[in-house]
Structure 1
Amino acid sequence: MTLSPDTIFDRDTLWQSWLDVEAALARAQADLGIIPAWAAEEITAAADLDKLGREELAADVKRTMAPILSLTRLLGRAAGKAGDYVHWGATTQNVMQTGRLLLLREANREIRAHLGRAVARMGALAQEHAGTPMAGRTNRQHALPITFGFKIAGWIEEMERAEARLSDATTRMLALPFGGAVGAMHAFRSQGRALNRRLASDLGLRELLVPGRSANDLFAEYVVQLAMLAMTVERVTSEVYTLMTDEIGEVSEQLDKGTVGSSTMPQKINPKYVVRSISLAAELRSLAAPALETGRSSHEGDSVANHLLSAVLDRAVPLAWRMAESFAETLERLTPNPGRMAENLARSKGAITAENLMMSLAPLVGRAEAHDIVHHVLETGGVSDLSTADEITAHMSPSEIAAALDPALYTGDSEIIAREAARLAIGLSARLGG
């Protein structure tokens, strides 16, 4: 079965995941002698949705309103004599939550792979434009010159933090929530812990000391970290969206031939990919609060919390998958415009490097005095007076002043940082699976 954001939690996918858990349970129990080995083989062979019959199962679920009861009833029938050993000692939530967890793991791999693509593109851009000057902005105003590669370096490092948080949450979440009716493995007598260990190993999950039905915090944390990831994606793409405006024009999207910008204004080329990324990220980010509500389950099991958890996961995980895919495509289509970066950087006619002039003057007159001199000249005469003001020319030559006011010569460690971030992106992309 091919999984996608549209099918990851659909009816058939979920049902098959539950059958996979029932088969794994039978195998683990056979290993421990709880049920006969031949029964486990028959149950595993029968645990296929195609063999059970989708419509028959759907009709039974509609009648019982107990999906696992209906599923195990039909599985038992399909397994013949081995059907007597189906769902041995398990409870509904054990199977439903474990099956969903297996699907979460598959979706997480896809999310990470798309993020890996995005980071790889960031790394390539950081390397290519490590020395491309542009205006750095604080409070949405020109601040100091940087390079475009330096800007992307910040994105890369933030993505590294997002990956670390998401990886930690994923490791904690991928734990087997299979402990029988209340989590203490009552029905398995003295073999409960051994069974949990075998089943976790079969499914590639870690063990929980208390494999109960109220450990929703593990899932809530994962969704919160997806929301944190969305925050980072939204920050990056919103900045890209701003840089695409006609007034700035420092980046654009590479659109396919025939793409229409506007139905009424033929001259317009509206962004297509970045806006989708922003929208998906904003929607995903909004699910952090509902995710936290799911952890407020009561005692050893709470259907209200579990229903809410399923609803949140059903929205958050496909959203994260689509967002990661859209984010990667947005960055892969991102086209920098170094010419416009240079034009915008030159708009202040050198005022953007006033700090450099101040720091060049500081060793000669003191830092505070240098600040006051440069500020006074800018306030009273403007940028053009920086090259002629007596307070400055008395201490610096014209060539020294010109060099101090050249934005391309005052980008700090931007290029060094950009190249280091490009190397960081290579390793990060590999870890993500891109």
Structure 2
Amino acid sequence: MSVSIFDSFLTTPDMIAVFEDTAVVQAMLRFEAALSQAQAEEGLLPSESAAVIATACDARQYDIPALIAAARSAGSLAIPLVKELTKAVAARDKGAASKVHWGSTSQDVIDTAQVLVTRDSLQLLDDGLHDLTGHLLHLAEQHLATPVLARTMMQPAQVTSFGFKLANWLAPLVRSRQRLREAAERALQLQLGGAVGTLSVMDEQGPAVAQRVANALGLKNAPQWHTQRDEWVRLGLEVAVLTGSLGKLATDLSLMAQGEIGELAEPSGNGRGGSSAMPHKRNPVSAMIALAAAQRTPQHGAALLACMGQQHERGLGNWQAELAEWPQLFLSAHGALQALNDAFAGLQIDRARMLRNIDALQGLVFAEAASAYLAATIGKAAAHALLEKMTGEALSSGRHLSEVLAEAVQADEQLRAAVDTAHLQTLFDAVKATAPAHRLAARQLQSLRGDIAALNLRNTK
């Protein structure tokens, strides 16, 4: 396929190569070679004819731009390709030429080719997820006790653990890796049905031929699915969900890398993240690429859903639209994955800045913990009202909430007698405040570590 300069900027050469025109045509020719060989093994054509057909199934022998141009008027890339393949075979063996594409139809060739290149693209995604989840798991284990601000509604909320935040980025990606494999198991299947899906030309031998073709291509054999697009679309939507999760991660990364926040920074050097006008700039380019991918993806996913209402036994317009939309999902997903792998392989984490951002809030993010502690003495409503008043005084005076609250406790006889002042002060300790998040993250990481190890083990088989 041909991609624009701006598409290329947002994806990777590896994924472009998977869906490149020659790769798709070669996948179509792999189907044709496997079909003729299977038919020969079932006695439907001479083995010599199958060998001649296989010899001609090399995409390098064909003028692919001319095929693409001819496909526009023919209505399918398979039609001019089969025509040229038949000519190439006839030049070697006229008898064999009559058996080219025998018993098949254009959609069989194209759908199976899509399945073959998609299998390659899924391996790229799986490899990228292997790396990114590895980076995130390692960082999460390192930062279980690292305090960082949790932010809700774009505002400071409480202190959490950076390891907990990393675990929350990690978990959806592990799930996506699992779901993609599950969806692929169902969707990566041979398409072979002939003109209307009944394998009528090959008669009773059709199912045996289909099984042989599936075996040769390493695909699951199933009844034709010409206009049954449910499993195929589910696979595409899993890619869309993955890209959405990558976009969430990129959003948080970009916000934490803002100069005013400065808690994270992408790797720099060699012109990475620079500005054409401002020498001081350090732009989060990995986050930018992932965000761009996430913003483009919903439309492609929606297009797949819109294309599902395919008419009768062969779609008119909707199947063709699906073919064009399909690669875009994978191009965006892999671009986002690679960009974030680049970022997290050298991510810079400023723990001191995280603490300074907490300290700059004058202890206000610990107000809930202090209120909960005081509620045991004066009741929930009174404790809440007291903390509301004390936070207002801290803000107006520019003092730390712990100091203002300690004075209020000392000024109130009931509180002074009931409150452990030393314990109250520990509620304003940022590191100790990470304890609940630390515990939860440690438990979650143990489960995720096992899931990742199982996925990695299956990847080596």
State if a TM-score over 0.5 links the two structures: yes
Residues in 2 aligned to 1:355 and 1:412: alpha-carbon distance in whole angstroms: 15
Indicate which of 269, 279, 284 corresponds to 2:292. Answer: 279
Aligned Cα root-mean-square deviation (Å): 2.6
Q: Which residue number corresponds to residue 163 of structure 2?
A: 149
User: Corresponding residue for 2:416?
Assistant: 393
Q: Which amino acid aligns with 2:154?
A: R
Give 1:328's aligned residue.
Answer: 341
Cα gap change, 1:426 to 1:120, in 2 (>3 Å): farther
Distance 1:305 1:134 in 2: 49
- Give distance in 2, aligned partners of 1:380 and 1:60: 77
Against the structure 1 CA distance between its residues 327 and 366, is the aligned structure 2 distance closer, same or farther, given a 3 Å change threshold? Answer: same
Secondary structure, aligned partner of 2:151: strand
Q: CA deviation at 1:245?
A: 0.8
Aligned to 1:102: 116
Q: Which residue in 2 is equivalent to 1:405? A: 428
Q: Which runs of 5+ in 1 are unaligned?
A: none
Alignment partners' CA distance in 1, 2:63 and 2:325: 29
Matching of residues 111-260 of structure 1 within 5 Å: 111-209=125-223, 211-259=224-272
User: How far apart, CA to CA, are the structure 1 residues paired with 2:225 and 2:172?
Assistant: 35
Q: Aligned letter for 2:408?
A: A
Q: Which residue of 2 aligns with 1:428?
A: 452
Match of 1:31 among 41, 47, 57: 41
Aligned partners of 2:56, 2:280: CA distance in 1, in Å? Answer: 61
Moved more, 273-282 or 18-27: 273-282
**After the TM superposition, which of the residue ranges 363-372 and 296-305 deviates more from structure 2?**
363-372
- Aligned-pair distance for 1:407? 2.2
Per-residue deviation at 1:338?
0.4
Change (3 A) 1:305 1:65: closer
1:373 aligned residue: 386
Question: Of residues 354, 357, 365 in structure 2, which corresponds to 1:352?
Answer: 365
| Secondary structure in structure 1 of the residue aligned to 2:226 | coil
Would you say the 8 A contact 2:128–2:337 is kept in 1? yes
Q: Distance in 2 between matches of 1:259 and 1:76?
A: 51
The answer to whether the 8 Å contact 2:267/2:343 transfers is no
Structure 1 stretch 48-57 or stretch 83-92: which is displaced more? 48-57
Shift of 1:347: 1.8
**Equivalent residues, number:** 432
1:265-322: per-residue Cα shift (whole Å, max 9, x none)?
2222222222112112211233121111111111111131111011111322222222
Query: Counterpart in 1 of 2:398?
Result: none
**Any stretches of 5+ residues in structure 2 without a counterpart?**
1-11, 396-400
Q: Percent identity?
A: 26
Contact 2:145 2:435 in 1 (8 A): no
